[in-house]
Amino acid sequence: MPIHKRDNMYCKYIFSGADMRLAAFTDYGLRILMRLADKPEEALTTQRVAKELRIPYNHLAKVVQDLARAGYVRTQRGAGGGVRLARPPQAISLGEVVRCLEQRYAMVECFRPDGGACLLMPNCRFRLKLMVARDAFLAELDKTSIAECAHPGPCGGRGGAPAAQGAG
């Protein structure tokens, strides 16, 4: 399925005829990283990020914890603390983040580690097609870094212009 445009607000890929869905957890993780990529040297408080990205604070805190465990962000408590990127944004691909955050979710039941309870197995012809599609999707995301999708936040970030308004 060809990609027909890329939405700059969150660098989401929009596909002709069908949307590729990610778990909300993964969407939040990508948004957090894209926001931090605008000024990688700057620490932002989790409260600020939650408010700017309209992510419930409790959900954001869990996502940040997973991002920190995976080595994408560093967190620091106290004055001057917050969350910041642990690696240069150019060195983090969308694909690697999606793989990391989506690993707990099976696209379909038969992709679960235990094989699920699919009635079509072991003669299913659909599973291989989904694996190929998933791999192509992730390969496309591998071509784009978090830096390319940096989101400047409400004050415009780098360029000083107001942040773009649009669908996310």
Residue 6, phi then psi, degrees to nearest 5? -125, 125
Tokens of 126: 């659909």
Residues 24-82: tens digit of each pLDDT: 999 999 999 999 999 898 999 999 999 999 999 999 999 999 999 999 999 998 877 89
Quickly count: other Cβ atoms within 10 Å of residue 45's Cβ: 11
pLDDT above 50: residue 159: no
Q: CA-CA distance, 147 to 5, in Å (whole number)? A: 18
- First vs last C-alpha separation in the chain: 21
pLDDT above 60: residue 167: no
Q: CA-CA distance, 100 to 125, in Å (whole number)? A: 27
Residue 156: pLDDT band with limits 50, 70, 90 = low
- Side-chain-facing half-sphere of 45: CA atoms under 13 Å: 7
Residue 127: pLDDT band with limits 50, 70, 90 = confident
The pTM for the full model equals 0.76
